[in-house]
Amino acid sequence: MSNIEELPLKCQNCRLPLKIDSSLLDLSLAQRDLLANSSNDYTPTKYKIPDDRLHALSKAIHPKDLNLPKSELDSYVFLQTEPSASSPSNDSSIETSAQTLIARKEDDSGDEHLDEDFHYGLSHGNTRTLSTQISALANVFNILSSNSNIDYPVCQDCCNILIQRLQSEYDDAIRERDLYTQFVSRIEKQKKVAQPESTGAIHEESAKLKSESESLLNELVGLEKQDEELEQKIACLEKQVEAKRITELEDLKRKNMHELELINFSTEVQSLKKQYEFSLNSLDRLRKFNVYNETFKISHEGPFGVINGLRLGGFDEVRVPWQEINAALGQIVLLLATIITRLNIKTKGYKLQPMGSFSKVCKFQQEEQEWVTYEAYFADGFKLGKLFRKETGFDKALECLLDIVQLMAAGLSRPPSGAGDVQTSDAGYAENENDVIYDVELPYVMHKDKINGISVKLFGGRPTLEWTTAMKFLLTNAKWLLAFSSSRLAQSPSS
């Protein structure tokens, strides 16, 4: 008994080891009959088998009539009646069942201990009890497997899964059965309703249906004609809608183009207004703008007078190159020449030649009756005059510039006159006694070669602090002349 309990049986579904309950090992004959006979019972009252199937079942051969050759390798057993204990066929059946169970266990797990235990039981006199138990289990499992589509034995989890599946199949079958039942009952009701009571009723119903079909057909023809008319009206209306839509689009395009032109025109007008305002503002600025003050910017940086950023002068502590000094003197000559030209100021016996850093001053000599040119720039070279401190042409040019500034101040003191009244000559000019004289006082007095008591001559030497101060005074007087001439130019009509 202990060997049977230790048999490594496996579930036929999940292939996991099973432990056989002891109640299955000690089954009585009544218990085995109950399991074998109650596996697939059905009640004839519930189910109706068709006659053709019953006729085919009657022609089937009963298992008792089968003469099958017995073999040791057979894995199936037909159990019809419970054999007696003394029957010789019982032994062969037991042996076949034992062989079947052992073959199943060897195929599933490859375990060879079952065969050893079996032979061990045979050799020790327990053949009767062991073979009976194995035969009982094999018979039960074979009967259960043959009567259903499930291979036994199975474990508890697989049994629950199978129960759920069978339950769902059962529910589906019940629903299908109910559906078929309803369908059959409905057909029977229709057959009952379809059966006429008399032939007259049939003819009456047929005539009624025919007249109704004709009326419906006429109604259908009328509806079709009406449908065609409506389709024609719809097509006509669609054409009108399309034409109206095209007309609206064209009107909208024209309106958009007109609005776009208005927008462009207003934008252009605003732009012209802005340009006009900008031009007026620019004109006002230009009217207030003094081109001479912007062209000739005169200022000072400490001891130096500066014109357009060029320093005029120098001393031992601060050396200024002669190129810068000559350029500053050229700017002074250009300033004086511009004022003389614009205001037609008469300079007696002097002419200016602005030439940048190499500007010159021309003076008319009364004795020789000829023009003498002096260089208003310093040529940094060796001259004998430097040794004896002799007056150079550069000194003469600076003295002429002082004299020209005085003549310009005197010319600005007179009122502006017409171009026909002005007669400029090389020797002098004619004066009108009726002209009103305006006082133009320069801040620094100039007399011959001195300005405010400081000489402008270098006698070929280096620039000193005194000479630098004299140049600063000269630039200051020139700035005053520029201011007076700017006011005169603002009053003149030609400006």
| 3-state DSSP assignment of residue 419 | coil
pLDDT tens for 291-318 read 888 888 899 888 899 999 999 888 888 8
- The CATH code for residues 296-490 is 1.10.418.40
Residue 62, pLDDT score: 63
Burial 416-426 (b: 16+ CB within 10 A, else e): beeeeeeeeee
- As a whole number of angstroms, the distance between CA 77 and CA 74 comes to 8
What Cα–Cα distance (Å) separates residue 338 from each residue in 320, 364, 441? 27, 20, 20
CB 404 within 8 A of CB 350: yes
| pLDDT over 60 at 141, yes or no | yes
Strand-strand pairing, 298-301 and 350-353? unpaired
Residue 458, pLDDT score: 86
pLDDT tens for 250-263 read 999 999 999 999 99
Locate tokens 């802005």: which residue?
A: 274
Bigger pLDDT: 422 vs 250 = 250
Contacts 24+ apart (CB under 8 A), 286-291: 290/486
Mean pLDDT of 349-356: 91
CB 312 within 8 A of CB 296: no
Residue 97, pLDDT score: 39
Which band of pLDDT confidence, cut at 50, 70 and 90, is reported for residue 6?
A: very low
| pLDDT over 90 at 287, yes or no | no
Percentage with pLDDT > 70 across the chain: 69
Which ranges of 318-456 would DSSP assign to H, the alpha helix?
A: 322-343, 385-388, 393-412
Which ranges of 289-321 would DSSP assign to H, the alpha helix?
A: 291-295
Cα 403 to the center of its chain, rounded Å: 79
Dihedral (CA of 100, 103, 109, 114) sign: positive
pLDDT tens for 195-212 read 655 577 778 888 899 999
Q: How is the chain split into domains, by residue range? A: 2-154, 296-490
DSSP 8-state class, residue 69: P
Mean pLDDT of 456-463: 86
- As a whole number of angstroms, the distance between CA 306 and CA 314 comes to 12
Residue 368, pLDDT score: 84
DSSP 8-state class, residue 64: G
pLDDT tens for 8-34 read 567 888 888 877 777 776 767 777 777
Neighbours of 124 (CB within 10 A): 9
Which band of pLDDT confidence, cut at 50, 70 and 90, is reported for residue 486?
A: confident
Mean pLDDT, the chain, whole residue set: 76
CB 174 within 8 A of CB 36: no
**C-alpha torsion 150→152→155→158, nearest 10:** -10
Residue 215: its H or E element? helix 199-288
Question: In sequence order, what DSSP letters do the residues of 10-41 get, joined into one string?
Answer: E-TTT--EE---HHHHT--HHHHHHHHHSSS-
Which band of pLDDT confidence, cut at 50, 70 and 90, is reported for residue 103?
A: very low
Mean pLDDT of 64-86: 47
Residue 129, pLDDT score: 58
Cα 225 to the center of its chain, rounded Å: 59
CB 128 within 8 A of CB 134: no
